[in-house]
A and B are shown apart, each in its own frame.
Chain A
Amino acid sequence: MEDTDSKQNERHVVRADPEIADLIPDFLEMRQEDVKTILDALEKNDFKTIHILAHSMKGSGGGYGFDRISVIGNFLEDAAENKDPEECLRVVNVLANYLANVKVIY
């Protein structure tokens, strides 16, 4: 995954599927919650919780229109399986950055 500094603030643009548009704000909010939960879990080395959340976002991201979240979830899931705290941190930061920068067009 290449995410250099110059790309960090690149805005990802997602066109909302009108049929599920109303579900998107909640979805993104839940993912924000996930970031907090994952950081907490990292402090306790609770890789199980991270794995569950990662798996969930991997499975749902694309369905809501956020393929990137599915990809992130995939990497995070692997990192949690490998009990790799540095990698987990790196990926959750990618997620946080993405959520901060993504623009949804309704």
Chain B
Amino acid sequence: MKILLVDDSETARVLLERFLIQAGYTDLEKVDSAAEAFDKLGMNGPSAPVPKMDMIMLDVVMPEMDGIEACQRIKAVESLRDIPIIMVTGKTDDESLQRAFDMGAIDYITKPLNKVELLARVRSALKLKQEMDDRKEATRKLEAANHQLQLLSLLDGLTGIANRRNFDETLDKEWRRGLRDGHPLSLILGDIDCFKAYNDNYGHQAGDECLKLVAQTIAGMVKRPGDLAARYGGEEFVVVLPETGMKNAALLAEELREKVESRNLPHAFSKVSEVVTLSLGVASALPSRECTPANLIEAADQALYQAKHSGRNRVGASPEKIE
């Protein structure tokens, strides 16, 4: 642990250094003024990066700038704010101490130095710093891991919307809820028309961008809490609509189709249009013990197939009544 000692009196510095070195704190920097301290801390403009300090011991009474002001200046720097500062002072009146604490000092040591007290407070401050550093590191790792986990488990890497697994779980959940509540559950299955041709001609990077745009467009329109837009596969998307019947689901599907078309993403190689379009299949079910989510997906798939084979860029509604 690196400690910065700031005191204008050499006599004082020598003694402090001795006590610290003997206690095992051998990594010390000694300066005789606040100005020099700022230099060591890299506060005087951009220059070579400075080694990080783990603690600062700051004498209060110094010519030019006193320790209280130095403390305030140091604490004003974001990157230095967490370094514990111990004031070393002969002034122990309440007002001085209060000022020191107000400026952000974590502790104080009185002069003349008492070795036992000094070392106890230094140890305490360094322990605190270590714990803070450990906690920051742990938090950083946790956040990174969380982020990773999120990405892997629920979100599609490319488009950023819900992934297939997410959809599977959600469908299952909403199906069971539908079983309990007796509400219908609808599904919209969408597929980008002539996507292979898009990819082959415009390249995979453009293909990826197209997928992202379509995903965003769909997800942007699926706003009710409980509804979910997910990437089902390659160029396929799916929307889960709990507590929604065929009529409303079909309406939304048409809105989706229309919205994607109106993005006017050029697709010179589409057999259907000059822009990117979607074919969609809609199906609805009243969850019961006699049917399963798979039935619902199958029905939506069939409806999609119908849409594809009736000219694409349209919505197909499943005639089946799944219940």
Which positions in A face B, CB cutoff 8 Å? 17, 19-20, 23, 26-27, 30, 52, 55-64, 67, 70
Contact = CB atoms under 8 A, between A and B. Distances in A.
Contacts of B14: 23, 26
Interface string B209-225: 00000000000000000
Contacts of B140: none
A55 B113 contact: no
Nearest to B17: A23
A20 B15 contact: yes
B100 to A, nearest CB: 16
A58 B90 contact: yes
A62 B110 CA distance: 11
A70 B111 CA distance: 9
A63 B90 contact: no
Interface residues of B, number: 16
A60 B11 CA distance: 7
B112 interface: yes
B11 A58 contact: no
A19 to B, nearest CB: 6
B22 A60 contact: no
A67 B18 CA distance: 18
Given A27-B11, A30-B11, A52-B63, A59 B18 contact: no
Contacts of A63: 12, 15, 111-115
Interface string B96-121: 00000000000000011111000000
Given A19-B18, A20-B18, A55-B90, A60 B12 contact: yes
B43 interface: no
B179 interface: no
Given A63-B113, A70-B112, A56 B63 contact: no
Interface string B45-62: 000000000000000010
